[in-house]
Structure 1
Amino acid sequence: MDNAHTEELIHIKGPEGVRLAGAVFRPSGGDIEPAGITWVHGAWDNFYVPTLVHLSRTLARCGYLSVTGNNRGHDLATALHVEGRAPALGGAWWEDLEDSADDVAAWVGCTVELGSRDVVLAGHSLGALKAIAYQAQRCDPRVRGVVLASAPSPSLLAAIVQDAELRAEAEGMVAQGRGSDLLPFGTVPSFLGTVSARTFLSLSRAAGETYDVAIARLHCPLFAFYGTEEAHIGTRDDLEAIQRLARAAPRVDIAMIQGADHHYRGHRDEVAIQVARWIQEIAQ
């Protein structure tokens, strides 16, 4: 850590009193930009994933306070702790994406409480879908803009949940009261390997709603980008589709990061600087 910023581990009480861990990256001295950045991590990731830590450190050196926080879908599996209750199943395998807006709300509120006048909501990977869902549902006036960092493309979402037989199996398991049981390993066509039956159906709903409905409800500026080395996640064609679908947004900026993979290895400073410049542009 350099002298240009400080880092602090924090814990907040999220939805239903669930304890969520996170980190705050603050510029040291000088003027701090009025907009803070709330990061939403991707599937099976967490608040300390190197991608978000590096981006937040660089953004702090650019004058921006950043908050990275766990949501209830962090890591593949986790125990969700609420005082006075037995731990509940959490993590990417047992997540209900419909509940993610409450997690995001807690961290947006935390960012404001730390002194930010307003917030840029930035989601990486699956976290980008959660950012879209949050702002589409809440129309939070504190959110100045939304950053979609390598959001799963419409075609990728469709590929994950297109198996009608698997959907029927998941529906049957939920109907039998076995919604928390995992689907057979390898049946979910993604790096997750498997998810619970309930989570698979939640992903199916998100796949149908994110680009068909939710993104059209965003009334704030958007910045969407992919690396050129993550075509399995999204391409320039997908960015142009996002531009068309986000028809209520006052501006939609897109970028391809040359040579970058899904976690921007070797290009994280470049990504952070592009995000910082975009925030400055929408503030004018």
Structure 2
Amino acid sequence: MYNRRKTLTRIGALAAVGLGAAALALGTTGANAEEAAPEGGFDAQIIGGQPAEEGQFPWIVALADAGDPSFNYCGGQLIAEDVVLTAAHCTEGTAAADVVIRHGGTDITQTDVYEVAEIVVADGFDGSTMVNDWSLIRLAEPITGAETLPLADADTKDWGTLTVAGWGTTESGSTSQDLLYVDVPYVTDGECDGAYGAEFDDATMLCAGDLANGGVDSCQGDSGGPLVSADGVLVGIVSWGYGCAEAGNPGVYANVGLLHDDITAALAAL
């Protein structure tokens, strides 16, 4: 399982494995530096998509390294003026002081930077299986007047066409400056189980992508970002998958409808 294929390694982690300045400047991951990328793999952005318009995703955010806020490595979404929902594998082991939130536009270089006060990783998150892959980030100060994204409150079995967005990596190996999005078909639990077998947990996950043809997907750097329904609710959180946009290997997302009660309980406890 390439369960990090949608996440950039943070600069601190890059330094820990001894990569040089050139690799850091390119945003190269430890996986890229130490081994060949899997087929379909690491050097891609939101695949098959297009640039978002200003205001199209007003609640979307990026997680960035506090030591270098120009380095964004995951996505997320505002579910309250002072709370971001993202993937647990983006925040596990990360101190609040080590991450900042970027919000306020489609050009990542023009977004505002917000400090983080607290990180809460989901109970039962397992980085080896990606079960319960969600976490909450409480901001030090609310973004007053910011739009927030409502959560799906049920596991609808046929979502139809969904939309995923993010600032994932580009072919040059660095994150995309512009916010990108792409529409992806919902993939049934049965079809996803056929693709991933026991690695797919239908109690906490769902899948989306063009199962037959590939070509549309989230990818590295998009982890934690939104999978949104046509009626504007958060259905999934970008989590993992094999490669990116490969036929037969859809993207796997934390299933917000199934996790709704746990997320809202954690939100109330902040």
TM-score range, shorter chain: under 0.3
TM-score between the two structures when normalised by the length of structure 2 = 0.27
* Higher percent of residues as strand: 2
* Higher percent of residues as helix: 1
Say which one has the larger Rg: 1
TM-score between the two structures when normalised by the length of structure 1 = 0.26
Larger relative contact order (CA 8 Å, sep ≥ 6): 2
